[in-house]
Amino acid sequence: MKNLAVAGTGYVGLSCGTCFADMGNNVTFIDISEEKINMLRNGKVPIFEPGLSEMIERNIKAGRMHFTTNYAEALTDAEFIFICVGTPSGVDGEADLQYVRMAAESVAKNMDHYTIVVNKSTVPVGTGDWVADIITRSQPDPIPFDVVSCPEFTREGSAIYDFMNPDRVVLGSHNAEAAEKVAQLHLPLRARIVVTDIRTAEMIKYASNAFLATKISFINEIAAICERLGADVQEVAVGMGYDKRIGPAFLNAGLGYGGSCFPKDVKALEHMALVHGSHPSLLRAVIDINRDARRWAVLNLRELVGGKLANCRIGILGLAFKPNTDDIREAPAIEISRMLQSEGASVAGYDPVAMNNIARLDRNLHLVEDPYELATGADALLVCTEWNEFKQLDLPRVKGLMKQPVIVDGRNIYEPQVMYNLGFQYRAVGRGAALTNGF
């Protein structure tokens, strides 16, 4: 058993630290939010992640998880401190490192023995050296430490599974012995461990996320062409995915990527490239195509309701950026809702788990209790999140409740011919072959 401290109780920190505890380690979580720490002490989880609540409850009972706002308390016996704080986008797309700085300074002021500082947050290339410099300058007395980069590759909605079944573990450090100690923590996962220098490890994270975002934008570009030429992007994606060089993952055309990672990481990598004299043309195109995917929804809604959205009632099915999470950061639904409201539409929304989060963010978005209330009197419905609940709706009932039977499916969860047969005016992403037989 190892003693670990985890700074940050967001999606990354909680899932990562809880999994380490479940592997038999003693984990102390630190957060500057007393509200979050008190919730966790009382067994309440501040985020929605399948399986996480049950795992936290199990490990609290086993005495392997502890919560505090005090760095000195957390670091007393810690051999490792994982920095898992947020790195949101700044004004120009750069990663905002204020929380990383705060964590590094707090570690420096409270450590009293050799500790390995593990950067788990997604941070710009060079941050590991910057963190080491902050700790060195902020220590009251010189105490040895090492910094290791260990980027996370988990997905919200499947974070527990992804952590326990990784494709690889990436570690970067100037000290091979420190990297080896972090590698030992991950040995129970039986995953391939890639050890490199610290800057390369940081770049692996950005390059990986940027490539996946590029796949999403690529298939959305193909979807736009399919609509013009009468091809079906879903069949195109299947045919592409059988090629082992391409693979089927991230080839689902839709409203684009969102969440806490892809948007900010692509923008941060673009910013890094620009300030160091590179020309990130591909990254810019990825960002532009993703923005166009949101506009696609508004254009199709406008067309199908008769040319004007003013005074129309639009219902949005799904507010989280993806299913199985309550995270609404960079969610397509939020941007689309604001565009619709700017054109004079009245917008309502429903989501199985993200309602509380959206209520705090957008007071102009009317929230309802279920999809059928959303459909009542609506001029159109827009599918923004592919929750299974929406795939099983009583569609004839939905049609009977709507003012106009218009559905714009931003996630391609329905079959066009079925929707046409039910009497809907239906529009899907990139399904040109189906559209030629419909409205």
* Catalytic residue set: 261
Tell me the C-alpha distance between 123 and 151, whole Å.
9
Question: How distant is the alpha carbon of residue 113 from its chain centre?
Answer: 35
Tell me the C-alpha distance between 238 and 17, whole Å.
37
Backbone angles phi, psi at 195, to 5 degrees: -110, 130
Q: Are 296 and 362 in contact (CB under 8 A)?
A: no
Give pairs for 419-423: CB < 8 Å, separation 24+. 419/395, 422/395, 422/396, 423/399
- C-beta neighbour count of 249 within 10 angstroms: 9
* Residues, the chain: 439
Q: Which are the contacts of 341, defined by CB distance < 8 A and separation ≥ 6?
A: 347, 364
Q: Which residue has the tokens 């941060």?
A: 268
Tell me the C-alpha distance between 103 and 45, whole Å.
22
3-state secondary structure of 267: helix
DSSP 9-64: -SHHHHHHHHHHHHTT-EEEEE-S-HHHHHHHHTT--SS--TTHHHHHHHHHHTT-
